[in-house]
Amino acid sequence: MVALLFAAFLLLILIGIDVGLSMILSAWLGILAKTERAVDPILLPQTMMNGVSFYALVQIPLFILAGDLMNRGGVTARLIDWSQSLVGHLRGSLGHTAIMTNMAMAGVSGSAVADAIATGKPLIPAMERAGYGKGFAGGVIVAGAVLGPIIPPSIPMVVYAQMANVSVGKLFLAGIVPGLLLAAGFFAICALLARTRDYPTLPRVALRGRLRATGRAAWALAMPVIIVLGIRFGLFTDTEVSAVVVVYALAVGLLVYRDLRLRELPGIAFESARSSATILFLLAAAGPFSWLVAESQVDRHAVALIRALTDDPVVALLWINLFLLVVGILIEPLPAMVIFLPALLPLVPVLGIDPIQFGTVVVINLLLGLLTPPVGMLLFVVANIGRIPLAVLSRGVLPFLAWAVVVLMLIIVFPPLTTWLPGQMR
């Protein structure tokens, strides 16, 4: 039955059916084909509703709305100016600016695609005018955008926390060190490539200019601080902090930056609702699919298979990551999580793996699929907005992808990179 379930799902994906609908249709076929114990098809809508009837999932639309409000409220331009004032004098200045801006944007939207579009539209043409290669210009935007769902807030981490029944706040904190490691490596790659290819620099900005740029961007830079400190010191619950940042984003856009207009709010709310509906529909569609996978005891077979290979948690994580790296190339992160996590999560306590570490590893692993040639979704997004040939962009992103794999291996081998900071949480 499980073979039929996955075969039907893959076939529907290959013929172009939406991922959520593919899961629903394949689950329906699985229910009809279940012979050892008949199941009433009414289970299909019931498990779909159960999949999204959790209070904690309210964070998803709230974080999306907060990110949309900040992006439409003049955040991107101010963050670019701030980043340029700090790193513009370095060789390959606009590449460093792209990474720095995406680090700051990560604390606002938590969406890789949104960050790639917001930073790519102004910075890719600027880099091309300054003589940067198309591959480098697109590659640095793709790499920087991956930081969005790793540095808090993070929609994939909210989804994992709900599925694994762990603290969202601890997962958010767990993403900080890996996110900073990724960014540090990306900066080093930018510097090396810029020096090798003799990319230009911008004039150094005086201290007064840096302070002015920081002051203009301070309200945007404060959002991730509110999230991290609010959770770390118990000022807000995981859900309350998402509501707080919505109010904060609205106040900044309307009253501080004043780039946001009241007449724009219905349109922003509609776009946020549509994005949220896409994610929540996917989670609902995964309900019956995941139930059938669990009913077939795939998790027991997975546990037995991994334990037959090794009892070492590090080696087990490496095997799981090898599998997920292949999955991430073919399927986007959220669908991959809702499909495969029900079978993988039982391995965590059996092998003695910390669930916070496992969640961080899974999220980063699947995000690598977004920038893996030739099918990574971010590659298509950036190639479209920057009018860059996909082959050229794929070559440009390879150095950044290589460093991302190194960071993934580091957090597998050294668990404190993901567990120390959450361990400080009250």
pLDDT digits (tens, 9 = 90+) for 173-216: 999 999 999 999 999 999 999 999 888 888 888 888 899 989 88
Find the range with the poorest average confidence among 105-109, 116-120, 125-129, 164-168.
Answer: 105-109
Question: 399 vs 335, which has greater pLDDT?
Answer: 399
Report the percent of the chain where pLDDT is more than 70: 93
Helix H, strand E, coil C: the string for the chain is: CHHHHHHHHHHHHHCCCCHHHHHHHHHHHHHHHCCCCCCCCCHHHHHHHHHHCCHHHHHHHHHHHHHHHHHHCCHHHHHHHHHHHHHCCCCCHHHHHHHHHHHHHHCCCCCHHHHHHHHHHHHHHHHHHCCCCHHHHHHHHHHHHCCCCCCCCCHHHHHHHHHHCCCHHHHHHHCHHHHHHHHHHHHHHHHHHHHHHCCCCCCCCCHHHHHHHHHHHHHHHHHHHHHHHHHHCCCCCHHHHHHHHHHHHHHHHHHHCCCCCHHHHHHHHHHHHHHHHHHHHHHHHHHHHHHHHHHCCHHHHHHHHHHHHCCCHHHHHHHHHHHHHHHHHHCCHHHHHHHHHHHHCCHHHHHCCCHHHHHHHHHHHHHHHHHCCCCCHHHHHHHHHHCCCHHHHHHHHHHHHHHHHHHHHHHHHCCHHHHHHHHCCC
**403: exposed, middle or buried (C-beta count within 10 Å: 0-12, 13-18, 19+)?**
middle
Of these ranges, 180-184, 223-227, 303-307, the one predicted with the greatest mean pLDDT is 180-184
Find the range with the poorest average confidence among 203-212, 313-322, 373-382.
Answer: 373-382
Of these ranges, 126-135, 226-235, 251-260, 404-413, the one predicted with the greatest mean pLDDT is 404-413
State mean pLDDT over 2-23. Answer: 77
Find the range with the poorest average confidence among 81-85, 86-90, 277-281, 388-392.
Answer: 277-281
| φ and ψ at residue 424, rounded to 5 degrees | -85, -5
Average pLDDT, the chain: 84
pLDDT digits (tens, 9 = 90+) for 318-327: 888 888 887 7
Half-sphere exposure for 395 (CA within 13 Å, toward CB):
8
pLDDT digits (tens, 9 = 90+) for 32-80: 776 566 667 777 888 888 767 777 678 888 888 887 888 788 787 888 8
Question: 186 vs 293, which has greater pLDDT?
Answer: 186
pLDDT grade for 303, boundaries at 50, 70 and 90: low
Distance in angstroms (rounded) separating the CA atoms of residues 393 and 59:
34
State mean pLDDT over 346-370. Answer: 89
Distance in angstroms (rounded) separating the CA atoms of residues 27 and 15:
17
Residue 321 tokens read as: 């990551």
State mean pLDDT over 226-251. Answer: 81
pLDDT on residue 399: 95
Report whether pLDDT(412) > 70: yes
pLDDT on residue 416: 94
Nearest Cα residue to 67 out of 158, 139, 160, 131: 158
| φ and ψ at residue 405, rounded to 5 degrees | -65, -40
Question: 27 vs 290, which has greater pLDDT?
Answer: 27
Through-space distance between the first and last CA atoms of the chain, rounded to whole angstroms: 45
pLDDT on residue 298: 63
Residue 14 tokens read as: 């290959």
pLDDT digits (tens, 9 = 90+) for 414-426: 999 999 989 877 5
Residues 386, 193: contact at Cβ < 8 Å? Answer: no
pLDDT grade for 294, boundaries at 50, 70 and 90: low
Question: 299 vs 129, which has greater pLDDT?
Answer: 129
pLDDT grade for 330, boundaries at 50, 70 and 90: low
422: preceding bond cis by omega (within 30 degrees): no
Question: 237 vs 315, which has greater pLDDT?
Answer: 315
pLDDT digits (tens, 9 = 90+) for 79-91: 888 998 988 888 8
pLDDT on residue 110: 65
